[in-house]
Amino acid sequence: MSAEILPFPARPAPVPPVPAPGACAVGDMVVTCINVTVGLWCAWPVAEVDGDGVVIAVSARDGRRIGVDRVNCQPTVYGLRAADHQPAAFAAMRWRTWREPGDALLDFAEIGPVDDAGARPAP
């Protein structure tokens, strides 16, 4: 029997997770279903995300942090980035409710970004 010593590569340094494009961050919002019986959807401010940008907790009106799985009645969650919207109008949408998620998305689309001159960029 013969044996040969082979060079073993060093263990690579761990690579920190990179959030996916469009992943949420603290300060963004999610629109979730809070009552499936009556079809009620609410915009929640994001309080905590994991390393991949997945929302873990949202902020309640009184400042408490609530697990997003506790306020969501359906598997569908819409993430909305603060950087893609006018700051004051975006902040005013916190805890607002809608009967349809499409209505919420339309309302957020209406407060899209503006350029330095105050004009909305062309689509």
> Cβ of 110: how many Cβ atoms within 10 Å?
11
Residues 54 and 23: their CA atoms lie apart, in Å, by 7
> What pLDDT score does 1 carry?
60
Residue 20 has pLDDT above 80, yes or no: no
- Tens digits of residue pLDDT in 58-115: 999 999 999 998 999 888 899 999 999 999 999 999 999 999 999 999 999 999 876 5
> What pLDDT score does 75 carry?
86
> What pLDDT score does 76 carry?
87
Position with higher pLDDT, 116 vs 62: 62
Residues 1 and 115: their CA atoms lie apart, in Å, by 74
Show the beta-strand stretches assigned E in 17-113: 29-35, 40-49, 55-59, 65-67, 77-80, 97-98
Domain locations along the chain: 29-110
Residue 54 has pLDDT above 70, yes or no: yes
Residues 25 and 50: their CA atoms lie apart, in Å, by 9
